[in-house]
Amino acid sequence: MTHFESLKQRLADVNALDSALGMMDWDQQTYMPRAGATARAQHAGILSRMSHETFVADETQNLLAKAKGDATSEDESALLRVVQREMDQKTKIPASLVEEKTSLGAIAHEDWIKARATDDFASFAPTLERMFDICRQEAEFLGYKDHIYDALTDLYEEGATKKGWDAMFSSVRQPLVDLVRRIKESGSQPDDKFLYGKWDASAQSEFTLTLAKAVGFDFNRGRQDTAPHPFCTGWSVNDIRLTTRYKDYLGSAIFGTLHEAGHGMYEQGSPQEWDLTPLAGGVSLGVHESQSRTWENIVGRSKSFWSMFLPQLKAKFPALPGVDLDTFYRAINKVEPTLIRVEADEVTYNLHVMVRFEVECAILTGELAVRDLPDFWNSKYEEYLGITPPNDAQGCLQDVHWSQGSVGYFPTYSMGNILSYQIWECLLRDLGDVDSLMASGNFAPILGWLQEKVYRAGRKYKPAELMTSVTGRALDPKPYLQGITAKYEEIYGLVVAV
Amino acid sequence: MTHFESLKQRLADVNALDSALGMMDWDQQTYMPRAGATARAQHAGILSRMSHETFVADETQNLLAKAKGDATSEDESALLRVVQREMDQKTKIPASLVEEKTSLGAIAHEDWIKARATDDFASFAPTLERMFDICRQEAEFLGYKDHIYDALTDLYEEGATKKGWDAMFSSVRQPLVDLVRRIKESGSQPDDKFLYGKWDASAQSEFTLTLAKAVGFDFNRGRQDTAPHPFCTGWSVNDIRLTTRYKDYLGSAIFGTLHEAGHGMYEQGSPQEWDLTPLAGGVSLGVHESQSRTWENIVGRSKSFWSMFLPQLKAKFPALPGVDLDTFYRAINKVEPTLIRVEADEVTYNLHVMVRFEVECAILTGELAVRDLPDFWNSKYEEYLGITPPNDAQGCLQDVHWSQGSVGYFPTYSMGNILSYQIWECLLRDLGDVDSLMASGNFAPILGWLQEKVYRAGRKYKPAELMTSVTGRALDPKPYLQGITAKYEEIYGLVVAV
């Protein structure tokens, strides 16, 4: 056996542990009885420590060093690069901290659920403080040049820095605020009341499965369940799990499913021969999000998409009034500052992200104490969105991320929004009349293009390399700003200044 | 930290790995998309090897030896005894064989599902042959005095041997065959056609949840899902998973749930302070089965039980005709030689087990080749039950066990049947008019008695010790034979020879 093969065997051990952790997390968010959380915390903590220890073990490090001489293909070199990057990160962090973070995450998830349900931030604050403290330690172990945020955000988006995110947000903040203002001033807010009701859960399940299947998510290699907070996970290119949720707003399930199916199709698109290796999966969270947002927004909130599916939707939900395509299209694209990020429209969405980014930076640096988070949050919502949450459940307790210690993650959502339009621009150039394809339910060419350009590359290239190879340039907010401006000027009949 | 505490920490690592394996198996049988099986096989194989290696590691063995000086309580000594027994077994088996067996089991499970669905034994035979070969190797590694079967069956039932099982079956074979004959000759077969229909799945789900809750399964610390072959599993006293299935025979779901809830209540009954340690859980498969059969048959097929629940059943299933309690009671206790073990009545059930026991012995010793299994099986069904399966799907392909390499396991089902009546006899002596309790839906005293006598002992005592402490004697078929004879003489109006 070559060193390379021995290394792959060690990595398979790590992969098995990580897959078990993935399943434990999936189960905790879908089916686990709440009393199971204490055991789950212990089990997940231990397995994450074992995964870490197996990965950073001297034997793995030696094999990694020696395997470099064995690599004979581009794929093998890429695998070694990915593993080396992870080794550089993980060897800096003690296994005990990894166990502590995972274990606390499983407990904190339950604390967060309770706190949100009872609108009791104070009860969650001590746990959250501990979690931010662990993240701060993690960042110090990892090290950084400019800002503590850099150490953490690089874990989710290779090469990202606070400075880079600042620049990204600066480039879109004013145009977005202006667009929101113009929309508000237009006074032509669409009526979307017909989308609210007591919708049958099994009808929502069936319809969302139809949609996910239609766009190309392969249910032979995956499934959909429900969770309080929709997510996508998986432990094999042949076993990808989507989740959605059924609420009074019919769009929750529909766009939740299309969003997660976007993540899922990206995961399912890795080459079979890379399954269970570090080359499979999405290259970064920003690129991942570009795909979920593509299928949710660019495809799923387009008029052509619904010219195909509105009749089916009406057949499935007889209580829906006889709205026409235009009315429906305007309704699902209503722009309005609201409280909940995951239900925000395309235009205001990034403003929600900015609030979280600022919160994270302020807490990490110590400028903001965790106990003062609600006030800070509420004042930022007033500043960016012109609304103040009536309570913390709809305010700073709404997201799952911080309970899991996912700090540095939020800006990738905005990157995904921006990148989705940048990639779509190239897809349009290659495929031409995509609207006709969507209107006829023919998503195969669209999925095929994305598979070829993005999905089948897995984690082989650095995110920046992939972006350049697909779009010819680095992250560029222009296509996004042009795209949403044109879309919403049309929907709201805004007069375009000449 | 004492050696004992260090040992417990090592065991917690093993427990985390085993819990992950339990969840992977649960997921494979409930939700996993079929294409996920290959990855599952690799992951489960690796984790089972890791669990084995962690357990048998020199460090664990040293800690176990040293911890004996630390044990200061009965519980601690019991824990060391349980671990020592497992150490004696596992140190004999190479980790590679453990990995191979688990990995093959995950693949074989899928092969078995396919073979059963298509009634294609030939396609499954090579996999089954490999699995029996692994079991044979396992037995040789473990060692045995009299018979190769002894090595394997002792893994499921401490102290059991082929000779012991032979004696147990001998003691019940003739009385059962006689009883079946007398029932047949009575010519008064009850009509149970009304129990067959296209029953609504969600009504079955709701009703079975009501039953499981009523008898005392704690849904705050567990849940119920569906699986092709009902089972109970769990990875914490606070996270126990039942499964059931919805079929045309309404009894499938009802008695499947009551059976698994019996297992589940046993698991939930371990003391909280033993959670995640080797002292928690059921002491052996035979004792475990005695509890599932108690709740399924002695409680769940009693007239008093249904005097409470028949009105609720009728309300839930309006299509059920207006049968009275007597008719219903006779229908759910219909005795008739049939093909499927898990749906067999109390009287013929053990005859199904005997067939499997003989098959296992014959294949292990080489007297029977796997390819000849269908013929052997069919001739045994003719001999014991007077019927011949029309195909292998309803014959030798019906059970999941062999695909998982669970060989030596089946006789514990018969032990459970026998022991359930032996324990119940003692319960009746202590509680008196149990029928009135059941008729009023008051199961707490029954569950309480079983918790105190059996469940809260966990794995602290040897099965034989526990049996003696609860019933005052070793396994004794008398209460079982007397119990079912009296019950079915009454139901079938059999003339009792004086």
B235 touches chain A (CB under 8 A): yes
User: What is the rounded distance in angstroms from the CA atom of residue B194 to the CA atom of residue B328?
Assistant: 9
**Residue A308 in tokens:** 């195909």
User: What is the rounded distance in angstroms from the CA atom of residue A447 to the CA atom of residue A450?
Assistant: 5
B16 touches chain A (CB under 8 A): yes
Q: In Å, how far from its chain's centre is CA A99?
A: 24
For the entire predicted model, the pTM comes to: 0.96
User: What is the rounded distance in angstroms from the CA atom of residue A373 to the CA atom of residue B118?
Assistant: 60
ipTM greater than cut 0.90: yes
DSSP B495: P
Q: What three-state secondary structure class fits A334? A: coil
Residue A29 has φ and ψ, to the nearest 5°, of -90, -10
Of B27, B225, B238, the CB nearest to A36: B238
**Least CA distance to A9: which residue of chain B?**
B46
pLDDT tens-digit series, residues B52-61: 999 999 999 9
A248, A199 Cβ separation under 8 angstroms: yes
**Residue B49 in tokens:** 């090897």
Average pLDDT over residues B107-133: 96
Most A CBs within 10 Å, among B8, B47, B239, B276, to test the A interface: B239
Average pLDDT over residues A318-341: 94
User: What is the rounded distance in angstroms from the CA atom of residue B237 to the CA atom of residue B455?
Assistant: 11
pLDDT tens-digit series, residues B392-416: 999 999 999 999 999 999 999 999 9
User: What is the rounded distance in angstroms from the CA atom of residue A305 to the CA atom of residue B362?
Assistant: 63
Q: Which residues of chain A make contact with B268, given a CB cutoff of 8 A?
A: none
pLDDT tens-digit series, residues B94-114: 999 999 999 999 999 999 999
Which amino acid type is present at position B420? S
Please name which of B425, B162, B95, B492 lies closest in space to residue B290, comparing C-alpha atoms.
Answer: B425
pLDDT tens-digit series, residues A235-257: 999 999 999 999 999 999 999 99
Q: Which residues of chain B make contact with A38, given a CB cutoff of 8 A?
A: 236, 238
**Least CA distance to A274: which residue of chain B?**
B39
Res A497: pLDDT: 61
Residue A437 has φ and ψ, to the nearest 5°, of -60, -50
B20 touches chain A (CB under 8 A): yes
Q: What three-state secondary structure class fits B225? A: strand
Active site residues of B: 260
Average pLDDT over residues A9-16: 98
Average pLDDT over residues B333-358: 96
User: What is the rounded distance in angstroms from the CA atom of residue B256 to the CA atom of residue B355?
Assistant: 22
Split at pLDDT 50, 70, 90, the class of A495 is confident
Res B221: pLDDT: 98
Of B16, B219, B275, the CB nearest to A46: B16
Average pLDDT over residues A316-323: 90
Residue A496 has pLDDT above 80, yes or no: no
Res A321: pLDDT: 83
**Phi-psi map region of A493: left, alpha, beta (phi>0 left; psi -120 to 50 alpha):** left
User: What is the rounded distance in angstroms from the CA atom of residue B351 to the CA atom of residue B344?
Assistant: 10
B16: closest CA of chain A, how far (Å)? 5
**Residue A160 in tokens:** 């990202």
DSSP B371: G
Do you know the residue count of chain B? 498
A317 beta partners:
none
B393 touches chain A (CB under 8 A): no
pLDDT tens-digit series, residues A146-197: 999 999 999 999 999 999 999 999 999 999 999 999 999 998 899 999 999 9
User: What is the rounded distance in angstroms from the CA atom of residue B388 to the CA atom of residue B380?
Assistant: 9
User: Residues of B268-289 as b/e, b for ≥16 C-beta within 10 angstroms?
Assistant: bbbbeebbbbbbbbbbbbbbbb
Interface of A with B in 98-117 (CB under 8 A): none
**Residue B226 in tokens:** 């569906």
Count CB neighbours of A429 within 10 A: 8
Residue A311 has φ and ψ, to the nearest 5°, of -60, -40
Would the CB atoms of A43 and B225 count as touching at under 8 Å?
no
B279, B82 Cβ separation under 8 angstroms: yes
B342: closest CA of chain A, how far (Å)? 27
Interface of B with A in 249-278 (CB under 8 A): 275-276
First to last CA, chain B: 69
B227 touches chain A (CB under 8 A): no
Residues 6+ apart with CB under 8 A from A199: A246, A248, A250, A253, A317, A319
User: What is the rounded distance in angstroms from the CA atom of residue A27 to the CA atom of residue B93?
Assistant: 32
**Least CA distance to A41: which residue of chain B?**
B16
User: What is the rounded distance in angstroms from the CA atom of residue B55 to the CA atom of residue B61?
Assistant: 8
CA dihedral B133, B136, B140, B144 (to 10 degrees): 180
Q: Report CA Rg, chain B.
A: 22
Q: In Å, how far from its chain's centre is CA B41?
A: 24
Residue B321 has pLDDT above 80, yes or no: yes
pLDDT tens-digit series, residues B266-307: 999 999 999 999 999 999 999 999 999 999 999 999 999 999
Active site residues of A: 260
Residue A498 has pLDDT above 80, yes or no: no
DSSP A281: S
B439: closest CA of chain A, how far (Å)? 30
Of A15, A46, A219, the CB nearest to B12: A46
Q: What three-state secondary structure class fits A337? A: coil
pLDDT tens-digit series, residues A101-132: 999 999 999 999 999 999 999 999 999 999 99
